[in-house]
Amino acid sequence: MISTDLALRLRAAGLVWRPASGDRFQLDEPEFEADVFTVSEMTIEPKAYPTGAILAFNGTTEWALDSVALEDTLWLPREDQLRDMLRGAFRALRRLPDTHVVEIELDGASLGFEHPLPEDAYALAVLAMLTRIA
């Protein structure tokens, strides 16, 4: 799971979340940083209304939370989702003794993004792509 810091940076760079079953997220409040939730049709499901999207909690959580607005959440994309976002720019994931390197090709240049966790290396590569687009 990517770090909260990288998830915040991705969102600030313009990454848009369309919730789907299996997606993980946090509530965008410091007191909930340790809590990670998973979208699931049985417990937490996305609902769209003309006024905006929400995540509805279907009464199975240990505390009384009925729903939360999508803008009050922070998506924690999975490694496979981040890799898919790289599309044709992705070249390789290399594992080194103490780190992982995601290699992409961007604007004709070969770039590498290094982090001890592979999902964070992917997130850094996606962040670079979003930054170039903006």
**Dist CA 52 CA 109 (whole Å):** 39
134 has pLDDT over 80: no
**Dist CA 126 CA 10 (whole Å):** 8
**Dist CA 7 CA 23 (whole Å):** 13
Give me 87's structure tokens.
């599309």
1 has pLDDT over 60: yes
- Provide the residue ranges of all domains of the chain, joining segments of one domain with +: 18-76, 79-133
In tens, the pLDDT along 8-65 reads 999 999 999 999 999 999 998 877 778 898 998 778 889 999 988 888 887 655 455 6
Which candidate, 117, 109, 127, 99, places its Cα nearest to that of 10? Answer: 127
Kindly report the number of other CB atoms within 10 A of residue 119's CB atom. 22
Which candidate, 75, 33, 81, places its Cα nearest to that of 55? Answer: 75
Which candidate, 90, 83, 84, 113, places its Cα nearest to that of 100? Answer: 113
CA distances from 29 to 34, 35, 74 (A): 10, 10, 9
In tens, the pLDDT along 68-125 reads 889 999 999 999 999 999 999 999 999 999 999 999 999 899 999 999 999 999 999 9
